[in-house]
Structure formats: C-alpha cells, structure tokens
Amino acid sequence: MLLSLKVTYKTATGQDYKAGSPPVDFSPVSNNGPTTTQDEDFVDPWTVQTSNAKGVDYDKLIVRFGSSKIDKELINRIERVTGKPPHHFLRRGIFFSHRDMNQILDAYENKKHFYLYTGRGPSSEAMHLGHLIPFIFTKWLQEIFNVPLVIQLTDDEKYLWKDLTIDKAYEYAIENAKDIIACGFDINKTFIFSDLDYLGMSSGYYKNVVKVQKHVTFNQVKGIFGFTDSDCIGKINFPAIQAAPSFSSSFPQIFKDKKDIQCLIPCAIDQDPYFRMTRDVAPRIGYLKPALLHSVFFPALQGAQTKMSASDPNSSIFLTDTPKQIKTKINKHAFSGGKDTIEEHRKYGGNCEVDVSYMYLTFFLEDDDKLEQMKQAYTSGALLTGELKKVLIETLQPLIAAHQQRRKQITDEMVKQFMTPRKLAFDF
C-alpha cells in the first residue's frame, strides 16, 4: 500500500516522496475520471487501455494495485507442494500476480480445505478465446489440488450495464455455461450458478451480500469503481454480489455451516478492484480474506493496447468461428511486429513484443522449445509474418474445433445438473 501511495504521490507531484518534506513548487492537478497522461495505463473492470504497443505495464500495475509478483520461488513451491509440473501459464508469466497464494499452499500442506471461485459476465451468446484463459487455468488448479469450484455467471451485472433484457442476459448465461462445461470441468466437484437464479434460492448467499453492503460506503464504491451520481443503484449494489461467493457460507449445500474455508480466485487483473474491496471487508464481518491469482489480458487482434472484446467481432476470435473465419481474421486483422518488406524483415527481423500472433502462441502453444525456436527465427528474420500467422492458425483451428465438438455434447439437462445447488464430492 505504501509503495502504491508513493507511486500515486509521484504521479500527482512529479517528485519522489520524502518524509517530512512537502513537494516543492507544486500546484495540485484535478483528476476527474481516468488519467490520460501519455504513458499511463487505464485498467478497471470494464475498460483496459494503454498507449504502449507492448500492452499494459504489469510491473507498474502490481505496484499500483498492491499485489505481489508470482516469482520463480512461488512457482517452485507450487510444483513441490503438488508434485505436478507448473502450468505453462505460470511458467510464461500469463498468471503473473497474486494475493496470499502462500497461505493457500500452507493450508494445503496442513491438509486444510480451500475452494476455487471464478466467473464470467455473460455479455454475448458466444465466448471468445480470451474468456477461456481463466477457465483453462482454473480446471488445472482444480485437478492438481482436488478442490470444490464455484463459477458465478453475473447475468444481473450484464443486465445493469448493457442494453439487454433480463431474459436475454439469463439466456446468455445458460449458453456461456455450455462453453464453460465444455472446458472439461468435473460435475461432481463444480457448481455453476446464475446470480438471477441463485440469489433468490440461497439465504446464505443473500445474507453475505447484505453483510458486505453494510460495511462498504457509497464513497468507497465511488472511489474504487468510479461510479457517479447518475449511475443506477443496481450498479452501486453489484460489487457486494460479486464479493459474496468469496465466503464459504454462501454455499451451505457444499460447505454446510463452515465459515472458515478459504477461497482462491483465479481471474484477470481487471477484476481485482472487486476483491480488494472484499478483502478489506472480510475481517470486519468475521471471514477469511480470499486469495487471488491474476492473469494478464488477452490482447485484441489489432494489438495489445486493449483487450479482446466480444462487442467488436473484428477484435475477437470466437469459440463459434469456423476454420475459415479463424484464418481470415488472423491474416487480415492480427497486428504484426514484422517489417514492411521481406528484404527489411530478413535484414532486421520482427518484434515479438508487439506481434499479436506471437502473443497468442504464448497462450496456446504448449511446447516451450517450439515457442522459443519461433521467437528466435522471427526475431532474426528467418521466419516471416505470414509463416508465423500460419503456425497460429494451425494451432487455433484444431483447438477451437475440438471445443465445438465437446460443446455439441452438452445438453440442457447437463447444464441443469451443474447449476442445481447440491452437495459436491467432498465432506465438510
């Protein structure tokens, strides 16, 4: 927190903080809304923007948010504790930041229970590649730790923020649930719930929502989320609804009356403001703070200045896209770090740090050696942009086709089973 305050102080005054010395020749700058200085990244739960072609500066974000970097020591400890090799998302820094992950590992070593919680805001019928990242990683965590998982579908949030009817938001939640189930989650260890459904069914969940509401002021949510006086009251109330699944007593059918089971939340770092608020409230209402693992953003096809968005079809590769659509989108829209002509490219090489095709391969090409070879070849100029795009196309086409095949097998009855509040395959 002190580091974060020092960064804020320097941003506001242009000077390093010195104890007991007020800033010299300083006149305050008003800051209404997102900062727009040239080198500043803007990150909140709804918007991600940066002027840097390499994407968001995640080291700065760690300092600003006050989280901790996932370092080699933590990755080695995860491998040691679980006896399993670390996921390539950890090895490659795709999950790069955490809060209290060592506490989770302590609990696991001491045979104490914990559970996983992640979610999805169903803003469209079709999910895109970026939406898969937390679910791929959460599935791996569930398998190596053998723990319960709850997945929140925030259809209420999408109704409040988007131009959707309440029925359409719920319909999107059900469709998105099919894509999530198609990732291969174990029905005996996983509970998926829609807020519109579950909030009315579970007194445990609603009681926790109300407890959070009582302990967060309007001023605090305005400060955290940037709400204004013209925002509807549903938005102001919503953060408590996303906070409540962090507490085991929100799921009495799974955890009975246990209130002391810690929660681990894998999510993209833009969701962190919700959980900073949750962690602040938790001890005041008698609960454990949730731990978090943060991922980087999945960049838009046009470049890493913004994240992939379902509302812009040209920025996204959807899980419903055909092999031909995938090929066309990558060839036409994927931002290249290559040079303008073949001669220049052969001479000077390409820039992997801004090349979207290479960035996508870091997410989906699991072979470390092959990825390193591609990097060397592209940087030296031996590999051309078209050839790099071809490797990406050949990586994504079978991956998405396999997902589509699995999704076809998901029936409405299976969705209903996953979404029915019930005891899971664990005894508490």
Residue 235 lies in a domain: yes
If asked whether residues 251 and 337 sit together in one domain, one would say: no
pLDDT single digits (tens) 386-416: 999 999 999 999 999 999 999 999 999 999 9
Residue 230 CB partners (closer than 8 Å, separation 6+): none
129 belongs to a structural domain: yes
- Kind of pairing, strands 48-49 and 42-43? antiparallel
- Residue 205 and residue 115 share a domain: yes
Within a domain: residue 3? no
Which pLDDT score is estimated for 323? Answer: 97
Out of 301, 336, 355, a domain closes at 301
Torsion angle in degrees (nearest 10) through CA of 317, 322, 328, 333: -10
In a domain, 25, yes or no: no
Q: Where is the domain boundary, 301, 333, 368?
A: 301
Q: Which domain holds residue 365?
A: 323-409
Whether residues 186 and 273 share a domain: the answer is yes
Return the pLDDT at 2.
83
In the numeric block, which tokens belong to residue 107?
A: 């609990």
Contacts of residue 31, Cβ cutoff 8 Å, sequence gap at least 6: 12
Distance between CA 247 and CA 268 in Å, rounded? 20
The residue among 312, 343, 354, 402 whose CA lies nearest residue 128 is: 312
Cα 45 to Cα 24: distance, rounded to the nearest angstrom: 35
Weakest-pLDDT range from 136-140, 279-283, 301-305? 301-305
195 or 257, greater pLDDT: 195
Task: Provide the token pair at 405.
Answer: 């095949």
- Ramachandran region, residue 66 (left: φ > 0; alpha: ψ -120 to 50; beta: rest): left
54 and 296 Cβ atoms separated by less than 8 Å = no
Which one, of 198, 193, 223, 220, lies nearest residue 209 by Cα? 198
pLDDT per residue over 338-354, tens digit each? 999 999 999 999 999 99
Residue 119 scores a pLDDT above 50:
yes
Residue 282 and residue 290 in contact, taking contact as beta carbons nearer than 8 Å: yes
Task: Verify that 158 and 268 share a domain, yes or no.
Answer: yes
Of 245, 141, 147, 154, which is closest to residue 183 (Cα–Cα)? Answer: 141
One domain for residues 387 and 295 = no
Pair (61, 93) in one structural domain: yes
CATH number for the domain including 375? 1.10.240.10
Backbone angles phi, psi at 415, to 5 degrees: -60, -45
- So what's the pLDDT on residue 12? 65
**Domain tally, the chain:** 2
Domain membership of residue 15 (yes or no) is: no
Alpha helices in 194-271 (DSSP H): 195-201, 203-215, 218-225, 233-243, 252-255
What confidence tens digit (pLDDT) does each residue in 57-68 have?
999 999 999 999
Same domain, 108 and 216: yes
301, 335, 352 - which closes a domain: 301
In this prediction, residue 165 carries a pLDDT of 97
| Residue 19 lies inside a defined structural domain of this protein | no
Give the neighbor-by-neighbor strand order of the sheet with 262-268.
Answer: 68-69, 95-99, 291-295, 262-268, 114-120, 149-153, 190-194
270 and 174 fall within a common domain: yes
Residue 30 lies in a domain: no
Q: Are residues 260 and 363 in the same domain?
A: no
pLDDT at 17 over 90: no
Residue 294 and residue 394 share a domain: no
Q: Are residues 56 and 150 in the same domain?
A: yes
Whether residues 134 and 274 fall in one domain: yes
- Whether residue 380 is contained in a domain is answered as yes
- CATH number of the structural domain spanning residue 257: 3.40.50.620
Residue 33 pLDDT exceeds 60? no
